[in-house]
């Protein structure tokens, strides 16, 4: 991949903002709520560096996914079907569909919890109401309309957490240091891996390569294609940077409120209730509003990802109005809603869902590496040595952390 990315601001760029934000909402979802609250309440600010590292890897991986979509005209699942053997596609497709269900479960659960907090509804009823609303939005909306809705939700979430940080008065010096200085022990590895899986989400990597094609990204010349690649890179950086700030804010608020007062949080609803006496009624209401926005918006992207992955690996047309796409959406969403109704420990389920995503990540990064480095697939836009090195580094870090997590399951410490 030879072209350097010149991060110049162009008024035309505003027309191309959107795909990155549609993907970004996936990593400010209820799973992030659970993992970030757990990280902040149990370990103070010390795991903020995980958010920073994860976001840096995310920016690059999402860019590689969008790059594949722009250059080839195929999304990641379509490219896998085209270039890999059948047995590999069964393995890749099956694992990512399982990850989509785990993601959807967390997203629908967050929306349901948010509705329960705001309107005092039973969780099962809130889950069914959320499911009906979300599936309606997925089936009747177009990608550009969904993007506008998502950007609105992201703005509301950001505004709510900005106000919450003002209310709780965190220790900024300690937070700034922890965001760039790594620290990890045996007791932190489980939550750290959950935080990683909550940021670098495999379904988002698949989705980005598809939604990028639903905008006006067609290029008739090589210069125009390079220009669009720069626009995509700027869209990705702006969107993921916003997500990084919101995720950091979640950890900071949890540390400033819960860790400071010695409160051990075991449930997202408990976190909202505990905020009231410690930070005021406004903080609880802002928390619930942001959680509903995060749950609804990230559920939409999870369903879109499920439909995209399902149709792409089957070789069907990726169109939200087609039956195969809708079948993928239902396969993703219905088991998720059923699991929510059957759950007894929703907080732990949220965290475990993110660990599942982290474990699946290497199976998403591997095909991305193989496809984007191949001149046969990418032509002159195939990765150079530096891009390949970064991809290998991301895959190596994630695999290494997965190994550490596996060691803790066997009772080993480090």
Show the domains of the chain with their CATH numbers: 11-409 (1.20.1740.10)
pLDDT of residue 110: 82
What's the CA angle centered on 36, arms 33 and 39, to 5 degrees?
145
pLDDT of residue 163: 80
Pick from 342, 251, 205: nearest CA to 35: 251
Contacts of residue 166, defined as CB under 8 A and 6 or more positions apart, other chains included, come to none
Give the global pTM. 0.82
pLDDT of residue 2: 47
What is the Cα–Cα distance from 246 to 148, expressed in whole angstroms? Answer: 19
Give per-residue pLDDT as tens, 277-316: 555 667 667 777 877 887 888 888 889 899 999 999 999 9
pLDDT of residue 22: 72
Indicate left, alpha or beta for 258 from its phi (over 0: left) and psi (-120 to 50: alpha).
Answer: alpha
Long-range contacts of 265-270 (CB under 8 A, 24+ apart): 265/37, 265/38, 265/41, 265/347, 266/347, 267/346, 267/347, 268/30, 268/33, 268/34, 268/37, 268/110, 268/113, 268/346, 268/347, 268/350, 269/113, 269/116, 269/117, 270/347
Pick from 2, 78, 10: nearest CA to 228: 10
pLDDT of residue 118: 81
Contacts of residue 410, defined as CB under 8 A and 6 or more positions apart, other chains included, come to none
What is the Cα–Cα distance from 133 to 152, expressed in whole angstroms? Answer: 17
pLDDT of residue 231: 79
Give pLDDT < 70 ranges for the chain: 1-18, 26, 140-148, 214-221, 266-281, 283-284, 405-406, 408-414
């Amino acid at each position: 991949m030879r072209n350097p990315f010149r991060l110049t601001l162009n008024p035309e760029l505003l027309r191309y903002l959107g795909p990155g934000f549609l993907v970004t909402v996936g990593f400010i979802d209820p799973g992030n709520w659970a993992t970030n609250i757990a990280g902040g309440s149990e370990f103070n600010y010390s795991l903020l560096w995980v958010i920073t590292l994860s976001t840096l890897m995310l920016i690059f991986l999402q860019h590689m996914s969008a790059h594949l979509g722009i250059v080839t005209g195929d999304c990641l699942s379509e490219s896998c079907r085209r270039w890999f053997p059948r047995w590999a596609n069964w393995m890749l497709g099956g694992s990512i569909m399982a990850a989509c269900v785990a993601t959807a479960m967390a997203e629908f659960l967050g929306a349901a919890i948010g509705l329960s907090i705001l309107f005092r509804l039973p969780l099962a009823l809130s889950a069914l109401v959320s499911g009906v609303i979300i599936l309606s939005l997925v089936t009747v909306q177009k990608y550009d309309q969904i993007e506008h809705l998502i950007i609105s939700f992201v703005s509301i979430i950001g505004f709510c957490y900005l106000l919450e940080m003002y209310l709780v008065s965190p220790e900024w010096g300690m937070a700034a240091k922890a965001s760039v200085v790594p620290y990890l022990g045996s007791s932190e590895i489980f939550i750290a891996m959950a935080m990683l899986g909550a940021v670098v989400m495999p379904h988002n990597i698949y989705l980005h390569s598809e939604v990028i094609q639903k905008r006006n990204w067609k290029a008739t010349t090589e210069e125009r294609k390079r220009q669009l690649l720069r626009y995509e890179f700027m869209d990705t950086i702006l969107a993921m940077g916003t997500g990084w700030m919101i995720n950091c804010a979640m950890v900071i608020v949890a540390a400033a409120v819960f860790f400071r007062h010695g409160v051990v949080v075991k449930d997202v609803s408990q976190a909202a209730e505990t905020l009231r006496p410690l930070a005021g009624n406004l903080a609880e209401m802002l928390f619930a509003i942001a959680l509903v926005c995060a749950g609804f918006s990230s559920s939409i992207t999870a369903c879109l990802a499920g439909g995209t992955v399902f149709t792409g690996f089957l070789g069907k047309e990726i169109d939200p109005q087609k039956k195969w796409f809708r079948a993928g959406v239902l396969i993703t969403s219905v088991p998720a809603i059923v699991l929510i109704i059957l759950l007894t420990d929703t907080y732990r389920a949220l965290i475990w869902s993110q660990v599942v995503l982290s474990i699946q990540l290497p199976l998403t990064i591997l095909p991305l590496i193989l496809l984007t480095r191949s001149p046969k697939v990418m032509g002159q836009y195939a990765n150079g040595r530096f891009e390949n090195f970064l991809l290998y580094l991301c895959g190596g870090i994630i695999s290494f952390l997965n190994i550490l997590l596996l060691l803790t399951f066997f009772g080993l410490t480090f």
